[in-house]
């Protein structure tokens, strides 16, 4: 019975990059993290220690910074396409490239109704995500949102579930629904107007969450995904991860007080973990 190398890849992760785009009257700030991964003809380096087909990961890092100077001028999706094209066309030993990008959300400060030209405030944990997977046959482009912390104080319930000898959870038709949501969607090809698409999809996800009468986290997850596929034909599928950040009604009975859905114990762990992918039929 023989032994051989199976699937393998290598690259450079956590390349942190900040770029100032200088206009005559203002600055823009872009701050991203980039992961680069290459697959290809790398048997010799693993089996024989032959580095002749290995592009150093330090070179990958330098390439990201160098190309950012003139080519990172728009969306992270488009910059990811630039990087994937470079690594694939410049390295014949490479058969596939994956570029993962995450952008910090900086918003311009405003004072007295006027936007400040060069001061910004961070939007918290939320990140704009993108991923480019390119091989010699084609490209798969996806985008998404990471750590989108959202909450609504009503229009959410959880009733009619299985109850066994270990169930103590009480049914409720009115509860807090809170989640730190991760969303990724896959485009059909490489559409135009990627910045506008991202903004439109993000707004629709928030609108769907806010207005949906939720009977469970799963119910809202599907409603959000369904809304995106109906509104944006360029999206092939969408995946949502929605951990349920529980808010437990505090028991005021020992103090002779009544809690009318006002005071809750906010917990992060343990949490319910709900995931789902919504796709088009046919």
Known catalytic residues are 12, 57, 246
| Number of residues that this document lists for the chain | 282
3-state secondary structure of 248: strand
Main-chain phi, psi angles of 199, to 5 degrees: -65, -40
As a whole number of angstroms, the distance between CA 222 and CA 102 comes to: 25
As a whole number of angstroms, the distance between CA 38 and CA 86 comes to: 12
12 closest CA partner among 34, 39, 43: 34
With residues binned 3-state (H G I as helix, E B as strand, rest as coil), the percentages for the chain, rounded to 5, are 25, 45, 35
As a whole number of angstroms, the distance between CA 31 and CA 14 comes to: 12
18 closest CA partner among 5, 6, 28, 26: 28
As a whole number of angstroms, the distance between CA 227 and CA 175 comes to: 23
Segment holding 227, helix H or strand E: helix 217-231
């Amino acid at each position: 019975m023989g032994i051989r190398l199976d699937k393998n890849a290598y690259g450079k992760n956590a390349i942190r990059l900040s770029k100032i785009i200088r206009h005559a009257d203002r600055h823009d700030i872009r701050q991203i993290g980039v992961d680069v991964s290459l697959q290809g003809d790398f048997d010799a380096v693993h089996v024989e220690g032959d580095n002749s087909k290995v592009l150093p990961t330090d070179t990958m890092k330098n390439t990201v910074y160098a190309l950012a100077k003139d080519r990172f001028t728009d969306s992270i999706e488009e910059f990811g396409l630039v990087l994937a094209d470079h690594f694939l066309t410049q390295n014949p030993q490479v058969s596939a490239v994956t570029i993962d990008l995450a952008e910090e959300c900086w918003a311009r400060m405003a004072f007295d109704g006027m936007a400040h030209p060069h001061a910004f405030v961070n939007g918290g944990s939320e990140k704009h995500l993108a991923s480019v997977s390119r091989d010699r046959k084609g490209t798969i482009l996806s985008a998404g949102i990471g750590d989108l912390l959202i909450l609504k104080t009503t229009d959410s319930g959880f009733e009619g579930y299985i109850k066994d000898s270990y169930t103590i959870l009480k049914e409720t038709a009115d509860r807090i629904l809170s989640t730190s949501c991760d969303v990724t969607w896959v485009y059909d090809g490489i559409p135009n107007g990627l910045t506008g698409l991202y903004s439109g999809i993000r707004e629709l996800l928030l609108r769907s969450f806010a207005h949906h009468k939720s009977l469970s986290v799963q119910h809202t997850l599907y409603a959000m995904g369904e809304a995106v596929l109906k509104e944006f034909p360029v999206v092939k599928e969408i995946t949502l991860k929605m951990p349920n950040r529980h808010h437990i009604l505090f028991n005021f009975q020992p103090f002779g007080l009544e809690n009318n859905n006002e005071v809750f114990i906010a917990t992060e762990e343990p949490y319910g973990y709900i995931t789902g992918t919504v796709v088009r039929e046919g």
